[in-house]
Structure 1
Amino acid sequence: MRILLTGASGFVGRHALTSLSAAGAEVHAVSRQRQSPGPSVRWYLADLLKPGIPAAIVDEVRPDGVLHLAWTVEHGVFWTDPANLEWSAATISLAAASARAGVKRFVGVGTCYEYEWPDDAPCDERATPLAAHTLYDTSKDACRRIMEARFAGTETSFAWARLFFLYGPAEGPNRLVSSIARNLAAGKSAACSRGRAVRDFMDVRDAGAALAAIALADVEGAINVGTGQGYPVSAVASSLGELAGRPDLVRIGDLPDRIGEPPFIVASVERLNREVGFETSRSLKEGLADALAFWNAQIENGRSL
């Protein structure tokens, strides 16, 4: 199966690429940065925000399927970034070009922030209401609705993968797991809030594999990409301290709690497990250990991201 993968060099995309290639897909990967050629992938240097580029890429590749990950993702910025609107337009253009070209499968990537989160129950794709919170999730959901309508009645099967809380090696240094792991690797104290919020943390390598499985499946509609397990933020921070052998450096409660923080955001993964046939392969402890090992190596080699 020939797959067009956007955002292929990003935090999630690189792992989706690896899993697609391992599954035997012919991967045509798009990035705004030049990449080294590989035996199982053909790279395209392109900026999908430029008018006409999404259609040109589809026309050149003539893919059987599209897995579209590219979006604005700068930590702390993407929630309100005006570029969300530009990416919405580019995404719709890519979908329209795919429909015209007769692409058989299109998978877009959304966010768990599209949900109106229950206080103590998992987010279910078919039962949990949706709600607008920020420009980011509003733009994502608007794209989903438009593409769902565009692909209706065509030969293109459409799925929408909602990502939950990803972490892992090479994660941006200011996110929760990476910031704590980086400080611990450097022998510094790692401040945290009281960490009472419960979240569904998924290793990015499993997320990439899940997205690849969805792209190669025929399951339609929204599909949660998470583990189905919820852990308090404080438990994740404490686990990192234990793994580093320095629990004393983890300072629970040193940072203020976020006002209005949702108490519980966890995925229902019945569709992912039963319909797609995918289950995570790493425990939280295993994933955190790998994330910590990554930052230990970075510090030892005098590097940081």
Structure 2
Amino acid sequence: MMRVLVTGAGGFVGKHLVSELKNRNYEVIAAASSSREDAAAGKLHGLDITDLAAVKAFIGRTRPDTIFHLAAQSNVMKAWHHPSAAVTVNTVGSLHLLQAIQEVCPGSRMINVGSGDEYGLAGKQGMPLSEETACQPQNPYAVSKFAAGQLVLQMAKKNNLQAIHVRAFNHFGPGQEEGFAVSDFSSQIASIEKGLLSPVIRVGDLSAQRDFTYISDIIAAYVALVETDVPNGVYNVCSSIPRMISTVLEHLVQMSDVDIRIETDVAKLRPSEVPIFVGASGLLEQVTGWKPKTVFLDGLERTLDWWRSRVGL
């Protein structure tokens, strides 16, 4: 039985990944910043990835065959306010894991989860972003993820280790907290339906087009990376379909029985530097056979239903 360590197991993606790996009968070690019990992920082992000695000791005790490194400081605004913290957690933390693998269990494979945000202004071309596209990250979070991926891959190459870097584009689904477009819209609609907010959603410029993938398809991609002998390198995980943010909101509003108005708030009007930002997932499809399967509207409805069950509790 393969033993899989998931860092950041208490987060949105981590919980879904742990659940699916357990369903597939993997031996899963779930780690988070602190030890605790989680309703979705089960027992979480405390692991401070910024502490190299602690990481080495943990890897030495658990000796995983594969490590999914999801633990991160992923809030862009927090990264702007505390860039050194973002670099310490996202870049140095990733490096610590690979160093531990090198010294303790060099046969392990590391799947380092980065972000489509690493491409940054490269998206201004309006063309699908492939793994060959030169990254131009534009915020401390994206820079820290890009640096992490480069360090992991270069050190793996030098030391003959198994490591890949995944660039996951926008994803959504049940369990995602506010701070992201689909979850923000869904939480507002659910609150309006329960009479907690007035039936108006005020927005800024929603003309940007982004690449959204439902959480179950993200998890299926990650599982495919476990179950396939994938060469070291960078792999995009995305739908490869650009969707206008305004259309996403309109779809969600149409799913409600309440009459909800969408109004433009001039104070929120900030045109996007990158009008179209869409990935290309051909390489991942080629090496694993993965393709997203969830109908986009079905994913939106499941997400909205999750917020309906949560709002007002």
When normalised by structure 2's length, the TM-score is 0.87
Aligned residue for 1:93?
Answer: 96
SS in structure 1 at match of 2:136: coil
Post-superposition shift, 1:22? 2.6
In 1, Cα distance between equivalents of 2:283 and 2:22: 24
Structure (1 or 2) with the greater helix fraction: 2
User: Partner letter of residue 5 of structure 2?
Assistant: L
Post-superposition shift, 1:255? 5.8
The answer to whether the Cα contact below 8 Å between 1:20 and 1:27 also exists between their aligned partners in 2 is yes
The answer to whether the Cα contact below 8 Å between 1:75 and 1:174 also exists between their aligned partners in 2 is no
Match of 2:307 among 289, 295, 298: 295
SS in structure 2 at match of 1:222: strand
The answer to whether the Cα contact below 8 Å between 1:122 and 1:266 also exists between their aligned partners in 2 is yes
In 2, Cα distance between equivalents of 1:257 and 1:15: 34
Describe the superposition over 1:232-282 as per-residue Cα deviations: whole angstroms up to 9, x where unpaired.
000001000001134633335666332443111111011222212222231
Aligned residue for 2:190?
Answer: 185
The answer to whether the Cα contact below 8 Å between 2:76 and 2:141 also exists between their aligned partners in 1 is no
Q: Unaligned regions of 5+ residues in structure 2, if any?
A: 193-198
In 1, Cα distance between equivalents of 2:109 and 2:152: 12
How many residue pairs are counted as aligned between the two chains?
300
Aligned residue for 2:123?
Answer: 117
The answer to whether the Cα contact below 8 Å between 2:208 and 2:272 also exists between their aligned partners in 1 is no
Post-superposition shift, 1:46? 2.4
User: Partner letter of residue 93 of structure 1?
Assistant: H
Post-superposition shift, 1:114? 1.3
Q: Unaligned regions of 5+ residues in structure 1, if any?
A: none
User: Partner letter of residue 295 of structure 2?
Assistant: S
Match of 1:105 among 93, 104, 109: 109
Post-superposition shift, 1:141? 1.3
User: Partner letter of residue 90 of structure 1?
Assistant: G
Post-superposition shift, 1:70? 0.3
SS in structure 2 at match of 1:12: helix
In 2, Cα distance between equivalents of 1:46 and 1:106: 16
The answer to whether the Cα contact below 8 Å between 1:106 and 1:215 also exists between their aligned partners in 2 is no
Describe the superposition over 1:63-120 as per-residue Cα deviations: whole angstroms up to 9, x where unpaired.
1111101011246323553311211222211111112221331110111121121432
Describe the superposition over 1:181-236 as per-residue Cα deviations: whole angstroms up to 9, x where unpaired.
11211223222223111100112232233223223332231111111111000000
The answer to whether the Cα contact below 8 Å between 1:184 and 1:244 also exists between their aligned partners in 2 is yes
The answer to whether the Cα contact below 8 Å between 2:98 and 2:152 also exists between their aligned partners in 1 is yes
The answer to whether the Cα contact below 8 Å between 1:196 and 1:233 also exists between their aligned partners in 2 is yes
User: Partner letter of residue 200 of structure 2?
Assistant: S
In 2, Cα distance between equivalents of 1:157 and 1:262: 34
Post-superposition shift, 1:153? 4.8
In 2, Cα distance between equivalents of 1:296 and 1:42: 27
Describe the superposition over 1:101-142 as per-residue Cα deviations: whole angstroms up to 9, x where unpaired.
21331110111121121432111112x111131111111111
Please give the residue correspondences for 1:119-198 in structure 2 after superposition, counting only pairs within 5 Å.
Answer: 119-126=125-132, 128-187=133-192, 188-198=199-209
In 1, Cα distance between equivalents of 2:184 and 2:49: 31
SS in structure 2 at match of 1:4: strand
Moved more, 39-48 or 268-277: 39-48
Overall identity of the aligned pairs, in %: 24
Q: CA RMSD in A?
A: 2.3
In 1, Cα distance between equivalents of 2:267 and 2:244: 15
Aligned residue for 1:83?
Answer: 85
User: Partner letter of residue 298 of structure 1?
Assistant: R
In 1, Cα distance between equivalents of 2:96 and 2:189: 44
The answer to whether the Cα contact below 8 Å between 2:50 and 2:96 also exists between their aligned partners in 1 is no
